[in-house]
A = this chain, B = another copy of it.
Amino acid sequence: MDSGCRKENVAVDKRVREAGLRPTRQRIALADLLFAKGDRHLSAEELHEEAVAAGVPVSLATVYNALHQFTQAGLLRILAVEGSKTYFDTNTSDHHHFYVEGENRIFDIASGPVGVSNLPEPPEGMEIANVDIVVRLRPKRRD
């Protein structure tokens, strides 16, 4: 069951290559899972499971390696959320998230006109790399 994957693989191959990484079978498979399906947030373990489920028996260590390499290459961002696991975001532009307390669930905020007003000046010698907004959600208690 490969139908429809060829084209992505080619594009992804290029993307990986341009990041200065060898387009190995594993990296391409991972990049394909990451980037072919729109914006996603996932942990190393989740990506690993997906890869295995997709018939690419990559090791967890390799998943970690790839995620960090992609991050360094600017293809991914690390999400700032509480909790023990590290989440990676395939959308590297300024955009924002809902975070569901107690469930470690993360949504993208439909990237409308949400914005920050009166951004403060960064301290001397520093510049703003990006701005993350996390809107923390609680289940609404019905009354």
Contacts and interface: CB of A to CB of B under 8 A. Distances in A.
A135 B119 contact: yes
A117 B120 contact: no
Nearest to A113: B118
A133 B84 CA distance: 20
Given A81-B80, A82-B86, A135 B110 contact: no
Contact of A112 (B100, B114, B120, B133): B120
A128 B119 contact: no
A133 B119 CA distance: 10
A6 interface: no
Given A80-B99, A125-B140, A126-B137, 12 more contacts: A80-B81, A80-B82, A98-B123, A100-B126, A107-B123, A112-B118, A113-B118, A116-B133, A122-B137, A128-B137, A129-B136, A131-B135
